[in-house]
């Protein structure tokens, strides 16, 4: 970020020296508690060596703008689910969306909602990213089905409004869990996903299937994208 950054220091005198240099050139403000960064609230626990990241009130404000009425029943899925057909020799792509196209106002509303939730999803709530990716691909030619998917995503946010992600101090070893879904997107596309986090070093290298995996930590990056190529099988995906 250009105008908002965090400083990690060992001795306060070192931090004061840096701030004195910055003040000689710029007008700056400081927060020694480091409780806010780029709109994200940070709650530090130096005893347990954890930090919790959240954005209190962000979803509440978004729902007041975009959701006319709250869901009567809890919505625990951010997007519709397609049951896999295990063992079938031929798997078909999703049927084409032939529902009624949205007018210009409807398209603008969808674009605004996607933009609002995309920052929140990228910063805190990664469970939104698959739905947001699918909606982003369809927003230019949105239909009634797209509007219905947006409503389900908003209902999910209303059910789970204040997500928190926790980072635990650990050894700095990078771990990646990756996978793909086949024929899960429109136009016979597939999706790639990856969860990147820092944790302890595995007890054995290379890891063996029966070994206890290192503790799961908060993600430093979550990859979720629709593959450009049309793939011929789940194995290829």
Q: How confident is the model at residue 118 (pLDDT cuts 50, 70, 90)?
A: very high
Q: How confident is the model at residue 186 (pLDDT cuts 50, 70, 90)?
A: confident
- Position 157 scores a pLDDT of 96
Q: Going along the chain, which residue ranges are E strands? A: 36-37, 40-45, 50-54, 164-168, 173-185, 189-199, 219-226
- Position 141 scores a pLDDT of 86
CA 94 – CA 96 distance, rounded (Å): 6
> What's this model's pTM, rounded to 2 decimal places?
0.85
- Regarding predicted confidence, which is higher, 186 or 82? 186
The sheet with strand 164-168 has its strands ordered as 36-37, 40-45, 50-54, 164-168
Task: Lowest mean pLDDT of 90-94, 207-211, 223-227, name the range.
Answer: 90-94
- Regarding predicted confidence, which is higher, 83 or 100? 100
What share of the chain has pLDDT > 70, as a percent? 97
Q: How confident is the model at residue 158 (pLDDT cuts 50, 70, 90)?
A: very high
CA 93 – CA 191 distance, rounded (Å): 13
Q: Are 211 and 192 in contact (CB under 8 A)?
A: no
Q: Is the pLDDT at 2 greater than 80, yes or no?
A: no
Mean pLDDT computed over 201-217: 82
Of 149, 156, 131, 161, residue with least CA distance to 71: 156
Of 61, 76, 68, 54, residue with least CA distance to 159: 76
Task: Lowest mean pLDDT of 22-26, 45-49, 167-171, 220-224, name the range.
Answer: 167-171
CA 150 – CA 218 distance, rounded (Å): 27
Q: How confident is the model at residue 150 (pLDDT cuts 50, 70, 90)?
A: very high
Q: What is the mean pLDDT of the chain?
A: 90
Q: How confident is the model at residue 139 (pLDDT cuts 50, 70, 90)?
A: confident
Q: Is the pLDDT at 156 greater than 70, yes or no?
A: yes
CA 165 – CA 197 distance, rounded (Å): 12
């Amino acid at each position: 970020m250009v105008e908002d950054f965090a400083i990690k220091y060992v001795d306060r005198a070192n931090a004061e020296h840096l701030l004195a240099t910055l003040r000689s050139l710029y007008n700056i403000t400081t927060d020694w508690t480091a409780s806010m960064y780029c709109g994200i609230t940070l709650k530090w626990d130096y005893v347990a060596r954890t930090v919790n990241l959240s954005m209190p009130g962000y979803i509440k404000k978004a729902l007041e703008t975009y959701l006319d009425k709250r869901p009567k029943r809890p919505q625990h899925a951010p997007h519709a689910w397609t049951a896999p057909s295990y063992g079938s020799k031929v798997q078909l792509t999703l049927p084409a969306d032939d529902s009624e196209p949205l007018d210009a106002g409807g398209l603008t509303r969808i674009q605004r909602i996607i933009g609002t939730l995309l920052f929140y999803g990228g910063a805190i709530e990664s469970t939104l990213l698959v739905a947001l990716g699918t909606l982003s691909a369809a927003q230019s030619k949105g239909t009634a089905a797209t509007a219905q998917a947006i409503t389900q995503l908003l209902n999910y946010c209303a059910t789970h409004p204040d997500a928190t992600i926790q980072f635990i101090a650990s050894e700095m070893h990078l771990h990646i869990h990756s996978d793909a879904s086949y024929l899960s997107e429109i136009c016979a596309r597939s999706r790639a996903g990856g969860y990147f986090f820092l944790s302890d070093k595995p007890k054995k290298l290379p890891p063996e299937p029966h070994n206890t995996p290192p503790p799961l930590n908060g993600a430093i990056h979550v990859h979720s994208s629709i593959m450009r190529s049309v793939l011929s099988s789940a194995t290829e995906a």
